[in-house]
Amino acid sequence: MKTPLPKVNEIEKKWYVVDATDKVLGRLATQIALRLRGKHRPDFTPHLDTGDFIIVVNAEKVRLTGRKLDQKMYHKHSGYLGGLKSMTARQMLEKKPEDVIKLAVRRMLPKNKLARQQLKKLKVYKGSEHPHQAQMPEPLEV
């Protein structure tokens, strides 16, 4: 007996809202990555995008444990000699709190084209407002 594969146009994708207030960053990111990939569904297929859309609000209120606020470093490089820029997690949360969550989730997804497609379904917002009310997202408790 063959295993039934879901058809791409028949996959039902839901929208969920996650409130990041006082949630630990790593634990939140693992649950989001699991939902983006679709591993929570019984019809999960590794080579298809069966995941859901995730909206994260209150990104600036996410919590890091231990001394990570001052010791965890985020690096980016411009491509030029001496172009390495580094920020601590505290600076990153002040300037771009959305990127902290996006980077944590992106690094938990596989490194391929499908993961880049799945990452587009993650919407992260600094405050408690988001423009996706028309999709009628359900609250997701993480």
Closest CA to 101 of 77, 66, 131, 74: 74
Domain that holds residue 50: 13-64+97-139
22-51 tens-digit pLDDT? 999 999 999 999 999 999 999 999 999 999
pLDDT value at residue 87: 97
Would 120 be classed as within a structural domain? Answer: yes
Would 35 be classed as within a structural domain? Answer: yes
Q: How many domains in the chain?
A: 1
Q: Which amino acid is at 105?
A: V
Would 107 be classed as within a structural domain? Answer: yes
The DSSP element (H or E) to which 122 belongs, if any, is strand 122-124
Would 83 be classed as within a structural domain? Answer: no
Would 75 be classed as within a structural domain? Answer: no
Integer angstrom CA distances of residue 142 from 29, 66, 84: 10, 21, 35
Query: What is the residue-level pLDDT of the chain in tens, covering all 142 positions?
Result: 887 888 989 999 999 999 999 999 999 999 999 999 999 999 999 999 999 999 999 999 999 999 999 999 999 999 999 999 999 999 999 999 999 999 999 999 999 999 999 999 999 999 999 999 999 999 999 8
Phi and psi of 42, rounded to 5°? -70, -20
Tell me how crowded residue 87 is: count the other CB atoms within 10 A of its CB.
17
Would 111 be classed as within a structural domain? Answer: yes
The DSSP element (H or E) to which 35 belongs, if any, is helix 25-37
Burial class (CB in 10 A: 0-12, 13-18, 19+), 68: middle
Integer angstrom CA distances of residue 110 from 65, 94, 126: 25, 28, 26
Would 84 be classed as within a structural domain? Answer: no
Question: Residue 127's domain is classified under what CATH number?
Answer: 3.90.1180.10
3-state secondary structure of 15: strand
